Amino acid sequence: MTRKVISTQQAPAAIGPYSQAIATNNLLFVSGQLPIDPTSGKLVDGDIGTKTQQILKNATAIAAEAGTDLTRVIKTTIFLTDLADFQEVNTAYGAFFPEAPPARSTVQVAALPLGSNIEIEFILSI
């Protein structure tokens, strides 16, 4: 089994002892992404749709560093602190996956790092 750490400055740096992503065999596992602006290192302002878009932009940059893109996403897991945001997240998320969207789970959690109200993790093929 091969294992390669994937890292790019085009996405936010990890805020703990983990990698942005790990590539192994033909898969890319992207750590949960928060809506952080990679330039400022701070959570973006705006509604949940704007935050979802930022997360997907960050995931796009990580995928590109690994030589793939979001059309190859197999599965995502969305973590929300309030399921009332579900429909607005769906709208922003759906714009990135207009055809053949990946498998997905969405769960409500009590809290997320940095006080974020959303986090998304990704599994992609390479």
- All domains in the chain, ordered by first residue: 4-125 (3.30.1330.40)
For residue 124, the model assigns a pLDDT of 98
Query: In the 3-class helix/strand/coil scheme, how is the chain assigned residue by residue?
Result: CCCEEECCCCCCCCCCCCCCEEEECCEEEEEEECCECCCCCCECCCCHHHHHHHHHHHHHHHHHHCCCCHHHEEEEEEEECCHHHHHHHHHHHHHHCCCCCCEEEEEECCCCHHHCCEEEEEEEEC
**For 8-28, what is each residue's pLDDT tens digit?**
999 999 989 999 999 999 999
- Does 1 score more than 90 pLDDT? no
Distance, in Å, from the CA atom of 102 to the CA atom of 123, rounded to the nearest integer, reads 9
Q: Please, which pLDDT band fits residue 38 given cuts at 50, 70 and 90?
A: very high
Q: Is the pLDDT of residue 119 over 90?
A: yes
pTM of this structure:
0.96
Measured in Å, how far apart are the chain's first and last C-alpha atoms?
15
Residue 79 predicted with pLDDT over 90:
yes
Instruction: Please state the rounded mean pLDDT for residues 57-75.
Output: 98
Please compute the mean of the pLDDT values over residues 67-85 and round it to a whole number.
98
Q: What is the mean pLDDT of residues 66-75?
A: 97
pLDDT, mean of residues 111-120: 98
CB atoms closer than 10 angstroms to residue 49: 17
